[in-house]
Amino acid sequence: MKAKFLASAGIVAATAVALTGCSGGNGSGGGSGSEAASCTNTIVNAEAPQVTVWAWYPAFNEVVDQFNNANDDVQICWTNAGQGNDEYTKFSTSIESGSGAPDVIQLESEVLSSFTIRDALVDLTEFGANDVKADYAEGAWEDASSGDAVYAIPVDGGPMGMLYRQDIFDAAGIAVPTTWEEFQAAAEKLKASGNGAVIADFPTNGRAFNQALFAQAGSVPFEYDSANPQEIGIKVNDEGAKKVLEYWDGLVKDGLVATDDAFTADYNTKLVDGSYAVYLAAAWGPGYLQGLSDADPDAVWRAAPLPQWDAANPVQVNWGGSTFAVTEQAKDKELAAKVAMGIFGNEEGMNLGVDKGALFPSYAPVLDSPEFADKEYEFFGGQQINKDVFLEAAAGYEGATFSPFQNYAYDQLTVQIYAMVQGEKDASQALDDLQASLEQYATEQGFTIK
Amino acid sequence: MATTTAPTSSHSAEASQQVKHRPDRSYRRRQRWGWLFVAPFALIFLTFLILPLVYAFRMSLFTSTLATGNKFVGADNYVKAFTDPIFLQGLGTVAKFALIMIPAQMIVALVAALVLDNLATWASKFSRLMIFIPYAVPVVIGALMWGFLYSPRFGPASDIFAIFGLAAPEFLAQSNIFGSLVNIVTWQWAGYYMIIIYAALRGIDPGIYEAAVLDGASDRQIATRIKIPMISSSLVMVVIFALIGTLQFFTEPQVLRAVAQGAIPTSYTPNMYAFSLAFSYSQFNYASAISFALGIVVFVFSFFFLFLTRKQSGLK
- On the question of a common fold for A50-158+319-396 and A159-318+400-449, the answer reads yes
Q: Do B53 and A21 touch (CB under 8 A)?
A: yes
Q: Cβ B53–A93 below 8 Å, yes or no?
A: no
The verdict on a CB contact (< 8 Å) between B67 and A407 is no
| Cβ neighbour number for residue B248 with a 10 Å cutoff | 23
Q: Is the pLDDT of residue A311 over 80?
A: yes
Read off the pLDDT of each residue in B203-229 and give the average, rounded to a whole number.
Answer: 92
- How far is Cα B117 from Cα B316, in angstroms, rounded to an integer? 28
Q: Which residues of B touch A444 (CB under 8 A)?
A: 65
For chain B, say whether A93 makes contact (Cβ under 8 Å): yes
pLDDT in the model for residue B20: 52
Complete DSSP assignment for A399-425? -----TTHHHHHHHHHHHHHHHHTTSS
pLDDT of residue B31: 84
Q: Is the pLDDT of residue B4 over 70?
A: no
Q: Which residues does chain B have within 8 Å of residue A3's beta carbon, measured at their own beta carbons?
A: none
Report chain B's mean pLDDT, rounded to a whole number.
88
**Is there a contact between B101 and B202 (Cβ–Cβ < 8 Å)?**
no
**Over the stretch A42-63, which tens digit does the pLDDT of each residue have?**
899 888 999 999 999 988 999 9
Q: Calculate how close chain A gets to B131, using CA atoms only, in Å.
A: 25
Choose the mutation target among B279, B285, B290, B301 for the interface with A, i.e. most A CBs under 10 Å: B279
Q: List the single range of A24-28, A373-377, B146-150, B198-202 with lowest mean pLDDT.
A: A24-28
The predicted-structure confidence for B61-111, as pLDDT tens digits, reads as follows 998 877 777 889 989 999 999 999 999 999 999 999 999 999 999 999 999
User: What is d(CA A249, CA A252) in angstroms, rounded to the nearest whole number?
Assistant: 5
| A5 chain-B contacts, CB cut-off 8 A | 307
- Tell me the C-alpha distance between A241 and A238, whole Å: 6
CA separation for the pair A440, A417 (Å, rounded): 19
pLDDT higher than threshold 60 for residue A120: yes
Helix or strand or coil: residue A377?
Answer: strand
pLDDT at B5 over 50: no
CA B100 to the chain's CA centroid: 16
In chain A, what residues touch B310 (CB-CB under 8 Å)? 4, 8
Of the listed ranges A24-38, A172-186, A428-442, B103-117, the one predicted with least confidence? A24-38
pLDDT band with cut points at 50, 70 and 90 for residue B21: low
Q: What is the mean pLDDT of residues A109-123?
A: 93
Q: Does A92 touch chain B (CB under 8 A)?
A: yes
Question: Which stretch of A242-246, B149-153, B312-316 has the lowest confidence by average pLDDT?
Answer: B312-316
Superfamily classification of domain A50-158+319-396 = Periplasmic binding protein-like II (3.40.190.10)
Q: Which helix (H) or strand (E) holds A67?
A: helix A60-70
The residues spanned by each domain of chain A are 50-158+319-396, 159-318+400-449
Residue B23's pLDDT band (cuts 50, 70, 90): low
Asked whether the predicted pLDDT for residue B196 surpasses 90, the reply is: yes
Domain B79-313 has CATH 1.10.3720.10: yes
With bands split at pLDDT 50, 70 and 90, how would you rate the model's confidence at A20?
very low
At B29 the pLDDT is 83
CA–CA separation, A256 and A53 (whole Å): 44
Residues of chain A in contact with residue B151, where contact means CB-CB under 8 angstroms, are 264-266
Mean pLDDT of A201-227: 94
Name the pLDDT band for B9 (thresholds 50, 70, 90): very low
pLDDT in tens, B232-249: 999 999 999 999 999 999
Mutate to test the interface with A, among B44, B153, B177, B277 (most CBs of A within 10 A): B153
Give the amino acid at A435. Q
pLDDT average, residue stretch A258-280? 93
A6 at interface of B, judged by CB pairs closer than 8 A:
no
B66, B302, B316 member nearest A16 (Cβ): B302
Q: Do A25 and B302 touch (CB under 8 A)?
A: no
What CATH fold (topology level) applies to the domain A159-318+400-449? Answer: D-Maltodextrin-Binding Protein; domain 2 (3.40.190)
* B165: confidence class by pLDDT, cuts 50, 70, 90: confident
pLDDT at A237 > cutoff 90: yes
- The partner residue sitting opposite A261, judged by closest CB among B57, B259, B279, is B259
As beta bridge partners, residue A322 has: A108, A156
Nearest C-alpha neighbor of B278 from the set A95, A89, A97, A18: A89
The confidence score (pLDDT) of residue A58 equals 87
Report the C-alpha gap between B46 and B51 in whole angstroms: 6
Per-residue pLDDT averaged across A244-256, rounded?
Answer: 96
Option in B57, B279, B316 nearest A89 (CB): B279
Look up the ipTM and state it. 0.80
DSSP single-letter state for residue A176: P
Q: Cβ(A127)–Cβ(A337) under 8 Å?
A: yes
pLDDT in tens, A391-411: 999 999 988 999 999 999 999
A123-143, pLDDT tens digit by residue?
Answer: 999 999 999 999 999 889 999
A90 interface with B at CB cutoff 8 Å? no
**Chain A residue at shortest CA distance from B284:** A25
Please give the average per-residue pLDDT across B291-308, as a whole number: 94
**Residue in A4, A23, A270 to test binding to B, most B beta-carbons within 10 Å:** A23
Mutate to test the interface with A, among B49, B261, B288 (most CBs of A within 10 A): B261
Residues B33-43 pLDDT 10s: 888 999 999 99
Is any Cβ of chain B less than 8 angstroms from the Cβ of A210?
no
